[in-house]
């Protein structure tokens, strides 16, 4: 199931590309096909791969799915055709974004200007959603590790991770480049597809790769969890502070025009900082989630080993 949903993510990413929604496709590819598949696999590693036999017959669920599908198809009957220039969605709000965003915001990628300036408050909300998810995982899964357990687990780990020599060397070479690519995506958002969300995920992916190949204990030594948590908070606060500063400068919340003498320069500055906030928050939250999942697996394995 995890593999299927990964394939689904990748396919929908390709679908988005053919619909010319490159930014969405990029996000879907990195999050839908990448990180969520990975998280699902870690969950399976924890719980086991076979499903318990179902006691009830899911007929009601099937009926609900069927009705929903029928209603969705019904909804398409009066919908404007795909790509219709006269569709309301293309006539009302959109023209201003297309025509004026260059003068008002001065960013080549219109998606970025909508996302990070016109509707910046929504994006702020999304970052908060992600941060909430991270805190939720911490609230439910975190637990204090005993040092003696830690030592034993790490010895388990080292013996296990001494295999896979080739993979380890290759990824050691690759990881710096992945990190570099993340930074490129982070700052490229102004000109093409990219931005904080995708960059954060890619950055976190590099760290996760490291943790998977070299063991949690090694990764834990390299990355302090308390520090990561504080950094996640910093990401959210950074975004919010841009808004607060713009309020102190006499504008409304998240009004970047007042951040600098020149409104366009102010917009650039504002978008740069909030994207950084997004990137930091996303990367750290993904790392937090993975580490907490993986810790559980380590403990479980350790218990099994002890029994053997």
Binding site for other proteins (CB under 8 A): 71-72, 74-80, 87-94, 96-97, 117-122, 125-126, 128-129, 131-133, 135-136, 138-140, 142-144, 229-230, 232-234, 236-237, 240, 243-244, 247, 251-257
> Is residue 73 within a helix (H) or strand (E), and if so which, with residue range?
helix 59-76
Measured from the CB atom, the residue of 185 and 190 that comes closer to other proteins is 190
Q: How far apart are CA 74 and CA 46, in angstroms?
A: 41
Q: How far apart are CA 113 and CA 190, in angstroms?
A: 8
**DSSP letter, residue 257:** G
What is the smallest separation between the CB atom of 2 and other proteins, expressed in angstroms?
A: 18
- In our burial notation (b when 16+ CB lie closer than 10 A, e otherwise), range 222-234 reads eeeeeebbebbee
**DSSP letter, residue 195:** -
What is the smallest separation between the CB atom of 113 and other proteins, expressed in angstroms?
A: 11
What is the smallest separation between the CB atom of 87 and other proteins, expressed in angstroms?
A: 7
Q: How far is CA 70 from CA 8, 65, 75, 79, 171, in A?
A: 22, 9, 9, 15, 47
Measured from the CB atom, the residue of 135 and 265 that comes closer to other proteins is 135
What is the smallest separation between the CB atom of 123 and other proteins, expressed in angstroms?
A: 9
What is the smallest separation between the CB atom of 255 and other proteins, expressed in angstroms?
A: 4
Q: How far apart are CA 278 and CA 126, in angstroms?
A: 9
Say how many C-beta atoms besides its own lie within 10 A of residue 29's C-beta: 19
What is the smallest separation between the CB atom of 249 and other proteins, expressed in angstroms?
A: 11
Say how many C-beta atoms besides its own lie within 10 A of residue 7's C-beta: 12
Q: How far is CA 92 from CA 29, 76, 87, 119, in A?
A: 30, 20, 9, 16
Q: How far is CA 2 from the centre of its chain?
A: 18
Measured from the CB atom, the residue of 209 and 238 that comes closer to other proteins is 238
What is the smallest separation between the CB atom of 126 and other proteins, expressed in angstroms?
A: 6
Measured from the CB atom, the residue of 93 and 158 that comes closer to other proteins is 93
Q: How far apart are CA 270 and CA 117, in angstroms?
A: 8
Measured from the CB atom, the residue of 212 and 259 that comes closer to other proteins is 259
What is the smallest separation between the CB atom of 54 and other proteins, expressed in angstroms?
A: 15
Measured from the CB atom, the residue of 13 and 280 that comes closer to other proteins is 280
Contact 243, 271 (CB under 8 A): no
Q: How far apart are CA 150 and CA 214, in angstroms?
A: 15
């Amino acid at each position: 199931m995890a593999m299927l949903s990964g394939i689904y993510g990748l396919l929908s990413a390709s679908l988005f590309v053919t619909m010319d929604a490159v930014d969405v496709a990029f996000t879907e590819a990195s999050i839908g096909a990448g990180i969520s598949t990975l998280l699902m696999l870690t969950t399976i590693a924890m719980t086991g791969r076979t499903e318990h036999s179902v006691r009830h017959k899911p007929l009601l669920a099937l009926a609900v799915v069927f009705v929903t599908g029928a209603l969705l198809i019904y909804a398409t009957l009066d919908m404007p055709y795909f790509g219709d220039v006269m569709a309301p969605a293309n006539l009302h709000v959109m023209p201003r974004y297309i025509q004026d965003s260059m003068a008002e915001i001065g960013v080549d990628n219109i998606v970025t200007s909508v996302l990070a300036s016109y509707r910046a408050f929504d994006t702020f909300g999304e970052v908060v959603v992600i941060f909430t998810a991270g805190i939720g995982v911490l609230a439910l899964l975190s637990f204090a590790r005993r040092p003696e357990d830690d030592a034993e687990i790490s010895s388990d780990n080292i013996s296990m991770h001494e295999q896979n020599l080739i993979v380890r060397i290759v990824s050691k070479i690759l990881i710096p480049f992945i990190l570099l690519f993340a930074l490129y995506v982070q700052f490229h958002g102004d000109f093409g597809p990219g931005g904080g969300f995708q960059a954060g995920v890619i950055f976190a992916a590099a760290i996760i790769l490291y943790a998977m190949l070299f063991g949690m204990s090694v990764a834990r030594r390299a990355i302090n969890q308390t520090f990561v948590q504080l950094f996640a908070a910093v990401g959210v606060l950074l975004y919010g502070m841009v808004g607060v500063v713009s309020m102190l400068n006499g504008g409304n919340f998240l009004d970047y025009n007042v951040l600098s003498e020149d409104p366009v320069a102010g917009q650039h500055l504002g978008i740069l900082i909030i994207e950084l906030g997004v990137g930091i928050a996303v990367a750290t939250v993904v790392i937090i989630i993975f580490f907490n999942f993986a810790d559980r697996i380590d403990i479980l394995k350790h218990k099994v080993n002890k029994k053997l």
